[in-house]
Amino acid sequence: MTDLKIGIIGGSGLYKMDALQDIEELQVDTPYGPPSDALIRGNLDGTPVVFLARHGRNHTLMPTELPFRANIYAMKSLGVEYLISASAVGSLKEAVKPLDMVLPDQFIDRTRNRISTFFGEGLVAHISFGDPVCNGLAGVLGEAIASLNLPDISLHQGGTYVCMEGPAFSTKAESSLYRSWGATVIGMTNLPEAKLAREAEIAYATLALVTDYDCWHPDHDSVTVEMVIGNLQKNAVNAQRVIRETVRRLSEAPPASDAHDALKFAIITPLDKANPTTRDKLAPLLKKYL
Ligand X SMILES: Nc1ncnc2[nH]cnc12
Q: Which residues bind to ligand X, rule: CB under 6 A?
A: 88-90, 164, 169-170, 186-188, 211-212, 214, 223, 228
Q: Closest CB to ligand LNRAV4D5 among 145 and 207?
A: 207
DSSP 102-164: EE--EEEEE-SS----S--SS--B----SS-S-HHHHHHHHHHHHHHT-TT--EEES-EEEEE
Q: Applying CB under 6 A, which of residues 189, 235, 246, 251 lies at the interface with ligand LNRAV4D5?
A: 189
Site string for ligand LNRAV4D5, 135-164 (x = CB under 6 A): ------------------------------
CB of 275 to ligand LNRAV4D5, least distance (A): 33
Consecutive H or E run containing 54: none
Answer positive or negative: Cα dihedral of 88, 78, 46, 59.
negative
* 3-state SS track over 166-231: CCCCCCHHHHHHHHHCCCCEEECCHHHHHHHHHHCCCEEEEEEEEEECCCCCCCCCCCCHHHHHHH
Q: Closest CB to ligand X among 89 and 285?
A: 89
CB 66 within 8 A of CB 36: yes
188 forms part of the interface with ligand LNRAV4D5 (CB under 6 A): yes
Which of ligand X, ligand LNRAV4D5, none does 186 bind, CB closer than 5 to 8 A by kind? ligand X
First to last CA, the chain: 26
Asked if 280 is an active-site residue, the reply is: no
Asked if 212 is an active-site residue, the reply is: yes
Which of ligand LNRAV4D5, ligand X, none does 212 bind, CB closer than 5 to 8 A by kind? ligand X
Q: Applying CB under 6 A, which of residues 98, 104, 187, 192 lies at the interface with ligand LNRAV4D5?
A: 187
Q: Applying CB under 6 A, which of residues 30, 36, 71, 87 lies at the interface with ligand LNRAV4D5?
A: 87
Q: Which of 214, 219, 261, 272 is catalytic?
A: 214
